[in-house]
Amino acid sequence: MAARSYNLRVYPGFRAVTLLCLFVLYAPLVVVTIYSFNASQSITNWEGVSLRWYADVFTGPESEKFKLAARNSFVIALIAASVATTIATLAATAIIRGGRFRLRTWSFGLISLPLMVPEIVTAVATLIFFNAIGFDRGLLTILLAHIAFCIPFAYLPISARMQGIEASYEQAAQDLYATRRQAFTRVLLPLMMPGIISGFILAFIVSLDDFIITNFVKGAGVETLPTAIFGAVKQGIKPNIMAISTMLLGVSVVMVALSWLISRRDNTK
């Protein structure tokens, strides 16, 4: 092979763009973190360092509500993303690996439908629909609605990934007397993992951040973090929301750091 003076995988400037991308993503969060320590009510005017908003989150009059809202949000996001990812993985297998069939294009259209309808329409329509069939609103209605609109967000990365995997792998497995199920679970699924994880993460953050639909389909007394935060705007945005956000960030950063360290130790053994 001819010797090249450069690495084919590396394109100049891509690292710089990535760092720029991270900078854009994180710069506003630095503001969030700083102002969560503000001594004043304000989220724009700095008046010195204080932990009062963290105290407020744990002991303030609204602390119970925010805690419950955070728990609801995470439970819903976790379940909705898992179910949506499972449904999307199966559907992608049928659409990408199921040959040509009449329903294929329509299936793709149906899966993309939640993306195409503005959220407020889905929200009002779903509420009317749940009422029409006599379904009581509560956590379950939020969960069902979230599963439905998370499916396309999980589906697209998964199908993109699957299109890049050669069918010869599974065919080879089947030639070696693996059943179709074994070819799927032992060959295709492991190869699919980066796509599945990407889909799961997208579904998770979509569910976690949804306000409009949740606001309409939730039942009495059920809050999620976004509905609590948007509701609080009546009194103006207070730094306690900044403190909650900072703690969420902290938790996620610690979790990621830990899992990375653990995986590194496993690898070096």
Per-residue contact flags (x/-) with another protein for residues 193 to 222, judged by CB under 8 A: -xxxxxx-xx--x--xx-xx--xx-xxxxx
For residue 155 the two structure tokens come to: 């589906």
Nearer to another protein, 19 or 51 (CB): 19
| Binding residue for another protein, selected from 131, 175, 179, 262, defined by CB under 8 A | 131
Residues in 145-164 at the binding interface with another protein, rule: CB under 8 A: 145, 147-149, 151-153, 156-161, 163-164
Nearer to another protein, 58 or 230 (CB): 230
Binding residues for another protein, how many (CB under 8 A)? Answer: 163
Q: Does 107 bind another protein (CB under 8 A)?
A: yes
Residues in 21-80 at the binding interface with another protein, rule: CB under 8 A: 21-22, 24-29, 31-32, 35, 40-45, 47, 61-62, 64-65, 68, 71-72, 74-75, 78-79
Kindly state the smallest distance separating residue 34's Cβ from another protein, in Å.
10
Q: Does 262 bind another protein (CB under 8 A)?
A: no
